[in-house]
Amino acid sequence: MASKRERETNKGLGEEELDAEAKRQRKDEESSPPSAAASIANPLSGLANNYADIDEEEYYDRKGKLSTNERRNDGSQKNGNGYEELGDSDSDDDDSSEPLYGGRRSRQIEVRKDCPYLDTVNRQVLDFDFEKFCSVSLSNLNVYACLVCGKYYQGRGKSSHAYTHSLEAGHHVYINLRTEKVYCLPDGYEINDPSLDDIRNVLNPRFTPKDVELLDKNKQWSRALDGSSYLPGMVGLNNIKETDFVNVTIQSLMRVTPLRNFFLIPENYQHCKSPLVHRFGELTRKIWHSRNFKGQVSPHEFLQAVMKASKKRFRIGAQSDPVEFMSWLLNTLHADLKSSKKNTSIIYDCFQGELEVVKEIPNKGITDKKENGEDLNKNEKNSDGATERDAFVKETSKMPFLMLGLDLPPPPLFKDVMEKNIIPQVPLFNILKKFDGETVTEVVRPHIARMRYRVTKLPKYIIIHMRRFTKNNFFVEKNPTLVNFPVKNLELKDYIPLPTPKENEKLRSKYDLIANVVHDGKPGEGFYRVFVQRKSEELWYEMQDLHVSETLPHLVALSEAYMQIYEQQQQQQ
């Protein structure tokens, strides 16, 4: 019951004032936050989901994105990079959408140029190579990194995991992994201090077009926080349990200058929604960044994108073939990057060539007659051997290629006089004859046929691989034959016929080796390493996961080469 004073006060108010007061109370009740029990769906992530923790700038930025993206029936939408984000009720960021209009969070976040806790930032423990997931709720929405201990936490509201961590551990400086803004918790103000720019550059390395042009001219070493030195572009990659096949492939592709330059500038592929493309770009920028906190890079995020895109065909913990992975990666990147109007991309610009394929399939009618012992008629038989030619149906076609497979001669079956295995050697030019348009290659799959190949278009970068492994029903066998190849000035026109160049064009058929992938050990049990060239100094380096060491050019050719990348010389012939 209302008190006597309230009744007297109400008597003095007009009906209009009472109605206004009632409306104001109802509005306050509607704008108040829901109870914790009503909004917590996940006991792990519920704490971070009940409190707004985004300022107006972030809110309107998100609203703008929502207006350009399609909303799905289940309340979810995709952001600019193609990742799914939950609806407003599930995100710590989005929880501020209604209060901003209701008036609860309309105030701006305070920005300070100095913070008393900046001296607690520990750059030694910061590692941004791993997936951006909260270490408590395992959510990838609105994640902050603690700049004191390096752990990831979700949100910065008063009941968020980051806020709780700031009170329990006394760690007060956090960076938003998406917006790169730095905040002080539990105070809640934003820190704007230029001393934190180096952390932002490690989180998201940036390159200007001028920086990209100077990469192949830079001979300067960089120094990590632990005092070790490293060469930008020549950093080691962590082997995350049987992932050396990924590491050698990535290190090889980093030598392809146009491909590297394309992925160093995110604006070149910002329209693409493929997570694989963006993770590959991030890895490229980290490998070539000159101000890293450590002298190696972990491809963890890229591997997660590979596992998802390949439907676990390539996964952590299972050894795979770098040739298969290279083929899959190039085709997938091309499919994600190509424009709708033209079937082209930076992948095809670098690696696509063209073959003329002559396929001879057995003529079933003649073959059946020969098998049954029947005489061939005059049209099928003559003295100059036309019978054999007529026994095959010839088909000629042109097909594009990204890689060329070379067949190795079979190894000897017996040991030499000294009871040692004979390791044969073969010149690269001998096995290149497969593409001279005359050498016959017998194939049995998908059906028996005789194939002849001739190169009709040379790419800027040729990827070749030696077929070292053969599989049967029982085991995998490795061919140990050594291939003798030149490191510089591989002249293809001396060994295979090449197309006549068009008018005002020069035939560029001379290539230099830039990457050589090697397999050591038994099939299924060995490991991969790669020799790569550093253009700024024309030196060769051997790279095996985290180990990077300079080597001599003649040692590159004394290995069991498995996959190679050659770069076309651009000077006029």
SS (H, E, C) 404-417: EEECCCCCCCCCCC
**Alpha carbons 218 and 467: distance in angstroms, whole number:** 37
Minimum mean pLDDT range among 148-152, 298-302, 496-500: 496-500
For domain 111-201, say whether CATH 3.40.1000.10 is its number: no
Look at the chain and count its residues.
Answer: 573
**How are beta strands 353-362 and 296-297 bridged, if at all?**
unpaired
- Is the CB of residue 144 less than 8 Å from the CB of residue 176? yes
User: Is 488 or 103 the better-scoring residue by pLDDT?
Assistant: 488
Question: Order of strands, edge to edge, in the sheet holding 111-112?
Answer: 111-112, 189-191, 182-184, 173-176, 143-146, 152-154
Task: Count other C-beta atoms under 10 Å from residue 239's C-beta.
Answer: 18
Q: Report pLDDT digits (tens) over 361-395.
A: 887 655 454 445 555 454 444 444 445 555 678 88
Alpha-carbon distance of 365 to 381, in angstroms, equals 14
pLDDT at 67: 41
State how far the Cα of 381 lies from the Cα of 389, in Å rounded to an integer: 10
CA dihedral 137, 138, 141, 142 (to 10 degrees): 60
d(CA 357, CA 378): 30
Question: Do the domains 204-337 and 111-201 match in fold?
Answer: no
Instruction: Report the distance separating Cα 82 and Cα 399, nearest Å.
Output: 33
pLDDT surpasses 90 at 500: no
pLDDT band at 512 (very low <50, low <70, confident <90, very high): very high
The confidence band for 465, taking pLDDT boundaries of 50, 70 and 90, is: very high
Task: Read off the pLDDT of each residue in 281-308 and give the average, rounded to a whole number.
Answer: 92
Question: 3-state DSSP: the chain helix, strand, coil percent, rounded to 5?
Answer: 35, 20, 45
247: nearest Cα among 555, 553, 465, 542: 542
What is the rounded CA–CA span in Å between residue 413 and residue 422?
Answer: 9
Give the count of beta carbons closer than 10 Å to the beta carbon of residue 340.
Answer: 5
What pLDDT score was predicted for residue 254? 95
Model pLDDT, residue 528? 93
What does the block give as tokens for 379?
């049209």
For β-strands 236-237 and 296-297, DSSP reports them as: parallel
For the chain, which residues make up each domain, given as ranges? 111-201, 204-337
Cis peptide before 186 (omega within 30 of 0): yes
Q: Cα–Cα distance between 183 and 110 in angstroms, integer?
A: 10
Predicted structure pTM score: 0.76
- Please answer whether residues 78 and 159 qualify as being in contact, where contact means their C-beta atoms are separated by less than 8 angstroms: no
Residue type (1 letter), 572: Q
What's the one-letter identity of residue 216?
D
pLDDT higher than 50, residue 514:
yes
The percent of residues in the chain predicted with pLDDT above 70, rounded, is 74
> Taking residues 210-217, what's their average pLDDT?
88
Fold type of domain 204-337: Cathepsin B; Chain A (3.90.70)
Residue 532: predicted pLDDT: 95
Rounded to the nearest 10 degrees, the angle between the axes of helix 275-288 and helix 300-309 is 160
Q: What is the DSSP letter of 35?
A: P
| Residue 521 to residue 25: CA distance in whole angstroms | 78
Per-residue pLDDT band at 114 (split at 50, 70, 90): confident
Q: Which helix (H) or strand (E) holds 260?
A: helix 257-264
DSSP secondary-structure letter at 33?
P
Q: Which residues pair with 145 in a beta bridge?
A: 152, 175
